[in-house]
Amino acid sequence: MYINIVFYTLLKKTNYPVLTFIRMEFSNSITGLFGIRYPIIQAGMVWTSGWRLASAVSNAGGLGLIGSGSMYPEVLREHIRKCRAATSFPFGVNIPLMYPDIEKHMDIVMEEKIPIVFTSAGNPQTWTGILKEKGIKVVHVVSSSRFARKAADAGCDAVVAEGFEAGGHNGREETTTLVLIPAVADAVRIPVIAAGGIATGRQMFAAMVLGASGVQIGTRFVLSEEAGSHPDFKNYVLKAGEGDTMLTMKSLMPVRLLKNQFFKQVAAAEQAGASAENLKTLLGKGRAKKGMFEGNLDEGELEIGQVSALIRDILPAGGIIENLWSEFLKTWAEPLPCKLQKP
Amino acid sequence: MYINIVFYTLLKKTNYPVLTFIRMEFSNSITGLFGIRYPIIQAGMVWTSGWRLASAVSNAGGLGLIGSGSMYPEVLREHIRKCRAATSFPFGVNIPLMYPDIEKHMDIVMEEKIPIVFTSAGNPQTWTGILKEKGIKVVHVVSSSRFARKAADAGCDAVVAEGFEAGGHNGREETTTLVLIPAVADAVRIPVIAAGGIATGRQMFAAMVLGASGVQIGTRFVLSEEAGSHPDFKNYVLKAGEGDTMLTMKSLMPVRLLKNQFFKQVAAAEQAGASAENLKTLLGKGRAKKGMFEGNLDEGELEIGQVSALIRDILPAGGIIENLWSEFLKTWAEPLPCKLQKP
């Protein structure tokens, strides 16, 4: 806090860019756990988070994650090796636990000596112990305190608590980040990483005020130069406004999508009382690839968060981290635009 | 900020309760607009916010609102007069614009010289000008930047931006407070009051960091001694956990309800493809009264916010305000549990 004041004084005297030169060190449970400079984790998103994005984020002081959910095992290995060649900083891999090739993926991260694994969509008990035995830090993504407690009991080093506003697959209880973070922070003793609805330094600060020790950011990094997603998808996300995404397919597996033609088909089917089986057929195979990787904006599944409404540019991942961190520091130095005064 | 530091020092030296004695004055656009001590507004909720609650909140330094949505015109007049007798501080009335007796309600607030009116669920253009001519401050409740701009254009003095996590009636776009507040704060120049998911001083601080100048709090005040709702309803809310509320009746008028027996009937009807007309019939008349006022927990409509999951006590409204404000100040003095350090 006292350093914060020094900062604030400098800020007033010399104006804002001084911050980037001073480079005070921030440290907390999350920077310590991963050995990173800023408590900013880039989400391991399908068809988006390859080695280019992950290494750019890690090089900039955050934690880059390779999203293995859209990769064949050997493709994952290739991304890991390229990422290692592109950065000397720590990076990790996100593995959805319901993935059919899960064993092969796990073998690869262990063989390649990946130091950090984020798991999601499944039971953390199955793999956490095995990974931890190899010295790997394990973080599980949850959407409720109940799941957070399960992850802590399974031995996870931290949890990502992901709110309703997040893009892609999401929980059934629909708890938003503003309510979820205090609930999870109260329920477990391991560090909590906030996710869902965070794209600015101010939002990052607010999420950490609520009890998180770091943030996981997806949507903002989809709109990075290094994201592997199709340029047409990125441009479509850039134009998204409030209300342009919706959590859907709740009877199957809830997922937040942009309201494109495919979404409308799903909504119409649901309105007509479609069963989970019907929806599965309608979804078919490869919808996410078609939309996010091949750029088929009508027929593809377009996963993105609500916070897309606030983002107006595509930037290099390193620039995103820099902006996040400097806005975070600025907010910390002067969180509110008003003062307390003697009566 | 500098006073903040003085505070912080005192806090460290003398421990926490000193804050309640010092009584520094806080002021910003919202305290100035309403002439209140703390930027805390108690939501005007049906079957809950009568004169007892509103006057208790105003006496404690917040802004109490009488919820006229569940009152016959003469009942509203009675509540206004009793509230005036019970407090010398400013209070207001919330009027849902789609209310059938709207003209009578508006006549009463003007006759009774109510200084502050919050309007919701309707077009702010119809009444704002008429009320403003009488010198009444007008605030409109919105769920998007688009509606916020409409309210500003209509001449409103402020907007309440209410996120998806809020209890009761809600917007169709499902934007959460974490995303909505920065969007609305960016869209309009009038002050923004954050609502939805706020029950603690920490959440209040986070919402104001995001760009709000005050907060409107509903659920936390349902669990106050002065709330007019049925004790059985309050006790049911007290037990609510994460995932126990859900936004429903989206084809009719979206409303967040506790998942009781009535909710389950609605959900089953929706799953079977019920039309808006079907839902209207199922809803019938007086469901909200039956649930929240008469305490029929099975057949009634039980409106409450997601943040009910975080609340564990029923307190006097004045105690709620005191707790909110002291936690808010404490958070402001030390928002994060970590420091910046020289490398």
Q: Are B169 and B268 contained in the same domain?
A: no
* pLDDT at B11 > cutoff 60: no
Q: Is residue B54 part of a domain?
A: yes
A245's tokens: 């995404």
Q: Are A158 and A255 contained in the same domain?
A: no
Q: Is the ipTM of this complex over 0.85?
A: yes
- Select the residue from B336, B341, B342 to test the A interface by mutation, using most A Cβ atoms within 10 A: B336
Q: Is residue A338 part of a domain?
A: no
Q: Is residue B235 part of a domain?
A: no
Q: Is residue B134 part of a domain?
A: yes
Q: Given this model, what pLDDT does residue A22 score? A: 52
Task: Mention every residue, 6+ apart, whose C-beta is less than 8 A from residue A327.
Answer: A200, A201, A202, A204, A205
Q: Given this model, what pLDDT does residue A2 score? A: 42
Which residue on chain B is closest to A332 by alpha carbon? B335
Domain extent at residue A80: 2-229+311-333
Q: Are B145 and B13 contained in the same domain?
A: yes
Query: Which residues on B lie below 8 Å from A242 (Cβ)?
Result: 144-146, 173, 175, 179-180, 183
Q: Given this model, what pLDDT does residue A273 score? A: 83
Look at residue B298 and give its three-state secondary structure: coil
**From the CA of A148, how many Å to the nearest CA of chain B?**
12
Burial class of B313 by CB neighbour count within 10 A (0 to 12, 13 to 18, 19+): exposed
Look at residue B65 and give its three-state secondary structure: strand
**From the CA of B274, how many Å to the nearest CA of chain A?**
8
Task: Mention every residue, 6+ apart, whose C-beta is less than 8 A from residue A46.
Answer: A67, A69, A70, A168, A288, A292, A303
Low-confidence ranges of chain A (pLDDT < 70): 1-23, 343
Q: Given this model, what pLDDT does residue B14 score? A: 52
Q: Given an 8 Å threshold on Cβ–Cβ distance, is B8 in contact with A28?
A: no
Of B25, B202, B247, the CB nearest to A210: B202
Query: Which residues on A lie below 8 Å from B175 (Cβ)?
Result: 165, 242-243, 306, 309
Of A7, A179, A198, the CB nearest to B309: A179
Q: How many CB atoms lie within 10 A of CB B3?
A: 15
Which residue on chain B is closest to A245 by alpha carbon? B173
Mean pLDDT of B58-67: 98
Q: Are A189 and A60 contained in the same domain?
A: yes
Which domain CATH number covers B39?
A: 3.20.20.70
Burial class of A269 by CB neighbour count within 10 A (0 to 12, 13 to 18, 19+): middle
Q: Are A161 and A297 contained in the same domain?
A: no
Q: How many domains does chain B have?
A: 2
Q: Are A203 and A288 contained in the same domain?
A: no
Q: Is residue A339 part of a domain?
A: no
Of A173, A196, A202, the CB nearest to B243: A173
* pLDDT at B20 > cutoff 50: no
Which DSSP symbol is given to A315?
B
Query: Which residues on B lie below 8 Å from A338 (Cβ)?
Result: 26-28, 213
Q: Given an 8 Å threshold on Cβ–Cβ distance, is A209 in contact with B211?
A: no
Mean pLDDT of B57-61: 98
Q: Are B191 and B280 contained in the same domain?
A: no
Q: Is the dihedral of CA A202, A204, A208, A210 positive or negative?
A: positive
Q: Is residue A272 part of a domain?
A: yes
Q: Given this model, what pLDDT does residue B22 score? A: 52
Q: Given this model, what pLDDT does residue B17 score? A: 46
Q: Is residue B342 part of a domain?
A: no
Q: What percent of chain B has pLDDT over 90?
A: 87
Q: Is residue B341 part of a domain?
A: no
Q: Given an 8 Å threshold on Cβ–Cβ distance, is B309 in contact with A335?
A: no
Q: Measure the CA–CA gap between A44 and A16, rounded to whole angstroms.
A: 32
**From the CA of A82, how many Å to the nearest CA of chain B?**
30
Q: Given this model, what pLDDT does residue B228 score? A: 98
Q: Are B36 and B164 contained in the same domain?
A: yes
Q: Given this model, what pLDDT does residue B23 score? A: 57
Q: Are B212 and B259 contained in the same domain?
A: no
Q: Are A292 and A253 contained in the same domain?
A: yes
Q: Given an 8 Å threshold on Cβ–Cβ distance, is A209 in contact with B335?
A: yes
Q: Are B174 and B260 contained in the same domain?
A: no
Which residue on chain B is closest to A268 by alpha carbon? B273
Q: Are B38 and B110 contained in the same domain?
A: yes
